[in-house]
């Protein structure tokens, strides 16, 4: 048997067909490129870490109302200061009665109204502070009372509530007024 010799064209064709061909990127298989996935996860993780510190920066420590089995008559005069924040000012009640306009005696309506500054109406926190101080100093037996109830209408901005709490905590001369704030629910 004689071996046939291949022509140059035939040898070139055999070489070309037997050589491994390069695969296109969409035909490549076996390896999964996870670098873009890790980039996305890293970015999401950085976003979560950056925003979580912003969400939990402020809090106000309060005590929930305690449930009691029976109501006992007070053994000494109780101030029971209640402040309701409305869009026209502050309604104040103490000793079980509403306080009149200007925080003078018993009455009805707004005890501390809005003040006008530069043509703008704003809450009068300094008058509220002096009203709370005057009420606390009226009855010597209630001088050790530190709790007040704060209620606000739904449309009152959060900053007004915080400023109201700040106003009734301490007087300008450093006297502790009502540092223990309970929140009431408007009806």
CA 114 to chain centre: 26
Do residues 142 and 77 lie in contact, with contact meaning Cβ atoms separated by under 8 Å? yes
Segment 110-155, tens digit of pLDDT: 888 888 888 888 999 888 898 888 888 887 877 788 889 999 888 8
Q: Give this prediction's pTM.
A: 0.59
Task: Give the pLDDT score at 56.
Answer: 55
SS (H, E, C) 53-70: HHHCCCCCCCCCCCCCCC
Measured over the CA atoms of residue 108, residue 112, residue 114 and residue 115, the dihedral's sign is positive
Mean pLDDT of the chain: 82
Segments making up each domain of the chain, as ranges = 81-183
Banded pLDDT at 44 (limits 50, 70, 90): very high
Residue whose C-alpha is closest to residue 95's, from 77, 122, 74: 77
Whether the per-residue pLDDT at 29 is higher than 80: the answer is no
Segment 59-95, tens digit of pLDDT: 667 666 666 655 565 566 678 889 999 988 998 888 8
The helix (H) or strand (E) run that includes residue 96 is none
């Amino acid at each position: 048997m004689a071996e046939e010799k291949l022509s140059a064209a035939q040898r070139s064709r055999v070489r070309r067909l037997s050589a491994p061909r390069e695969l296109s990127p969409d035909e490549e298989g076996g390896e999964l490129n996870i670098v873009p996935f890790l980039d996305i996860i890293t970015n999401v993780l950085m976003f979560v870490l950056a925003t979580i510190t912003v969400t939990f920066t402020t809090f106000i420590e309060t005590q929930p109302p305690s449930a009691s089995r029976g109501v006992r008559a007070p053994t000494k005069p109780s101030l029971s200061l209640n402040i309701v924040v409305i869009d026209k000012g502050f309604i104040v009640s103490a000793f079980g009665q509403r306080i009149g306009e200007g925080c003078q005696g018993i009455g009805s309506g707004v005890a501390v109204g809005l003040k006008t500054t530069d043509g703008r109406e704003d809450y009068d926190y300094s008058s509220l502070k002096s009203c709370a101080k005057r009420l606390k100093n009226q009855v010597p037996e209630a001088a050790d009372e530190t709790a007040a109830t704060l209620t606000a209408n739904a449309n009152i901005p959060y900053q007004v509530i915080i400023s109201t709490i700040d106003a009734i905590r301490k007087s300008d001369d450093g006297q502790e007024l009502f540092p223990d704030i309970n929140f009431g629910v408007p009806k």
